[in-house]
Amino acid sequence: MKLGLIGVGNIGMHFANRLVASDHEVLVYDRSQAAVDRVVARGAKAASSNQDLASQVEVVLLSLPIPGVVLQVADEISQPGSKVRVVVDLSTTGPSVTHQVADLLKARGIALVGAPVSGGTANAEKGALAVMTGGAEAAYKEVEPLLRVIGKNIFYLGEDPSLGQTMKIINNTLYATSMIASCEALVFGVKAGLDARTMLDVLNVSSGRSFATLERIPQCVMDRSFPVRFTTELLHKDVKMCMDEAEKLGVPMHVNPVARQFLAFAISQGDGDKDNVYPIRHIEAWAGVQFGEAPKA
């Protein structure tokens, strides 16, 4: 299939590389020339703009950072001269903006499949993501083979393209809350005299385990490397969306907003563009201890 991909950043580049490796012809566009060059070197082809890309392909995948950008790009790729029939939004756009995008595209004869992903960059590289989809079943069936190139667990949640987005912000909010709670508890354990690695080993075969203790903290905090896989500001954006959508539906939330508040504090301290586990450093500073250590040279 010849298809377009807009957004080839930290996770989008893995989508491009996997699709090219599966013998698809992939036309890409990103505002970052360095990001484009990186995937062109692996076999993708570059478009000069969103509109240029839309004039050449019928299926477009989006991997974009914030809802407003998704709405803007959807408008640009559906202008006169576009060949696009189906848009697959792999971004975390949230249900409210997804409804706006769906209405805009539908008015121009284009189907939207909301298909946010979860699993991080490591699983994106391996094609092992979870993909949460919603949209017209015929459109979903058409793009399902593409989704199975980038994901391992594909869920179809119904005809409403916002359903996958709702599922995604619920997922990310639960991750944020469990991650921050885990950081607090692990720093407490170090202060009390427990060994950092042993704590993780115990938790990860016990009921306190989570994605944070199984993957994120061992991979990113234990050796103090803090590689940027998903930034603090993007996680905060997702949690805030979840809080806003829950409020619209009249669903009370008392615990999860505390995670949003801590992430907002971390952003105010300059952590917005750092990985979302980096703010453990604030908890460590308040406690006067450090979890893990960098390898000795």
Q: Which residues are catalytic?
A: 168
| Phi–psi pair at 88, nearest 5 degrees | -115, 115
Contact 67, 94 (CB under 8 A): yes
Instruction: Give the DSSP H/E element, type plus range, for residue 2.
Output: strand 2-6
Q: How far apart are CA 54 and CA 2, in angstroms?
A: 12
Contacts 24+ apart (CB under 8 A), 10-13: 10/121, 10/228, 10/229, 10/230, 11/63, 11/117, 11/120, 11/121, 11/124, 12/63, 12/90, 13/38, 13/39
Contact 29, 6 (CB under 8 A): yes
